[in-house]
Amino acid sequence: MSSDDKKSLVHPGDLLAAVRTRFGPDARIIDYQVVQGTETIQGFASLMLRAKVKVEDGDQKREINFMVKRTPVVALHAEMLASMGNVVEREGIFFDTLLPILEERSPSLPVVKALVCHKDALIMEDLCDKGFKTVAKDFGEMGRGALTLPIARMSFRQLAKLHAASLDIDWKQVAPPGFFAQDILMEGKAAEQFGEHFGKTIEMVIIPILRKIKPDLPGLEKYVEFLRSKTMFDNMIPFTKYDEANGPNLLLHADFHLNNTMFKLSEDGTPQDMRFIDFQILRYAPPYTDLVNFLYTGTNNSFRVQHEKDLIRIYIEAFNAAANRTPDLLDFDTFYTGYDNARYYGVVFALGAKPMLLMSQLNPDAGGEVTEEIMEAMQNTDLSAPAMAFFDNDPVFKQEMEELIEHTIEVFKRYVSIE
């Protein structure tokens, strides 16, 4: 996409509104340019652009960058997202309607700031200008150990603070009618597409590897049958819903993974500060899916096994401190039981996501634009041969798939009768 094409996608009126929100009603735009929005992973739920704006504010001239999130322009990209509804508008509702309530309760929430929100575009602060960056440069890094323990600890502390700010509010009444009626990822038209993607990965990657490494597994064909069934996918849905018995019910990010966070790091890589980005999905439910999503997509099995309980304790301590109730709202044993039950959601999500994160050759380059060719490849590539090539030649891929499948079998024993 040419620079002129990119510029045509950003309305100057939106930029002017953002400039005046930032600098006051007398500020004006001298000129602006629009470039690719990210040098790392390009988002798939929207089109990200960076507007470089020259501003005159009284006697002062200055330059400022804004991040612009808008609906996609590539036809296949737009078609893929249409089943989810307008996710840009949905995120705008979060910033305009829901976030102010959270910030009134907790003024220093670690959330990116949005200056202009409407159904076609969001204009947000450019966190890169403030020294924040994503930890992984591409999907391959995200799947192969970019996450460190200090980053995980900060992520869980800040997530707890965000969750605690949403306590004791009926978000179904606060949000527009129907906003939480369906999970936009797991139900409705989007679920068909999401299920098709997962089904393709499971059929072409997971099942062949399962057969290869577990040919003598008791009940093997029962597990294969369950992996192919719509039931496996549908069983995830209850974990995304309001649940009176397994609360507290909270406002969830619902797409909490390593690259939906940005960090300010010291020279040795220690996190100093962080911000959450990409509030397009959102859920009103118990908190467990946010935790399992992060741990099952952004870490390997050994990291999760070694640090999982400590990270959950960190989350509970930070949540109770932010909630500031006596007695504490969360205790470890009860919360861990809820988390352990929701492990199913994390396992199934990992079955569909981890192979694609690890097979880095099948992912777009860091900073690359989402093109028609990339979207066609995502929809039409036969994964069978690449998956087996990775399994036979890539020790990291082989180990992660073996450990994920071994763990999946243990979790599925609650759902699959092999007798």
pLDDT tens sequence across 12-54: 999 999 999 999 999 999 999 999 877 555 555 678 899 999 9
Q: What is the crossing angle of helices 288-297 and 301-323, to 10°? A: 150
Domain span holding position 162: 3-412
Position 19 scores a pLDDT of 97
User: Who has greater pLDDT, 367 or 120?
Assistant: 120
Is 163 a residue whose pLDDT tops 70? yes
Measured distance CA(19)–CA(30) in Å, rounded: 11
Give the mean model confidence (pLDDT) for residues 146-162. Answer: 95
Is 78 a residue whose pLDDT tops 80? no
395 within a domain of the structure (yes/no): yes
Position 321 scores a pLDDT of 97
Per the prediction, the chain carries an average pLDDT of 90
417 within a domain of the structure (yes/no): no
Is 209 a residue whose pLDDT tops 80? yes
Cβ neighbours for 132, distance < 8 A, ≥ 6 positions apart: 262, 263, 264, 273, 274, 275
Position 341 scores a pLDDT of 96
DSSP string, 20-63: HHHH-TT-EEEEEEEEES-SSPPPSSSEEEEEEEEEEETTEEEE
R_g over Cα of the chain: 22
Measured distance CA(231)–CA(377) in Å, rounded: 28
* Lowest mean per-residue pLDDT among 197-211, 284-298, 347-361: 347-361
Position 376 scores a pLDDT of 60
Largest alpha-carbon pair distance within the chain?
A: 80
Position 93 scores a pLDDT of 97
10 Å CB burial of residue 273 (0-12, 13-18, 19+) is middle
Under DSSP, the state recorded for 240 is: G
419 within a domain of the structure (yes/no): no
Give the mean model confidence (pLDDT) for residues 279-289. Answer: 96
- Six-digit token string for 142: 């995200």
Give the mean model confidence (pLDDT) for residues 92-109. Answer: 96
Q: Give the number of C-alpha atoms closer than 13 A to the C-alpha of residue 13, restricted to the C-beta side.
A: 4
Give the mean model confidence (pLDDT) for residues 126-154. Answer: 88
Where does the pLDDT of residue 289 fall: very low under 50, low under 70, confident under 90, or very high at 90 and above?
A: very high
Q: Which residue has the tokens 């009603």?
A: 25
Amino acid letter for position 233:
F
230 within a domain of the structure (yes/no): yes
Is 361 a residue whose pLDDT tops 60? no
**In 44-79, which positions are buried (b, 16+ CB within 10 angstroms) versus exposed (e)?**
ebbbbbbbebebeeeeeeeebbbbbbbbbebebbee
Q: What is the crossing angle of helices 301-323 and 395-412, to 10°? A: 60
418 within a domain of the structure (yes/no): no
Where does the pLDDT of residue 279 fall: very low under 50, low under 70, confident under 90, or very high at 90 and above?
A: very high
Whether the model pTM is above 0.85: yes
Position 305 scores a pLDDT of 93
Beta-strand pair 121-125/114-117: antiparallel
- Six-digit token string for 254: 């619902």
Where does the pLDDT of residue 292 fall: very low under 50, low under 70, confident under 90, or very high at 90 and above?
A: very high
Position 317 scores a pLDDT of 98
Number of structural domains in the chain: 1
Asked if 246 and 286 touch (Cβ cutoff 8 Å), the reply is yes
Residues 62-74: tens digit of each pLDDT: 999 999 998 776 6
124 within a domain of the structure (yes/no): yes
Cα distance between the two ends of the chain: 57
Position 52 scores a pLDDT of 97
* Lowest mean per-residue pLDDT among 97-106, 165-174, 191-200: 191-200
Residues 89-98: tens digit of each pLDDT: 999 999 999 9
User: Who has greater pLDDT, 140 or 331?
Assistant: 331
Is 330 a residue whose pLDDT tops 90? yes
- Six-digit token string for 168: 């004791």
Position 366 scores a pLDDT of 52
Position 164 scores a pLDDT of 98
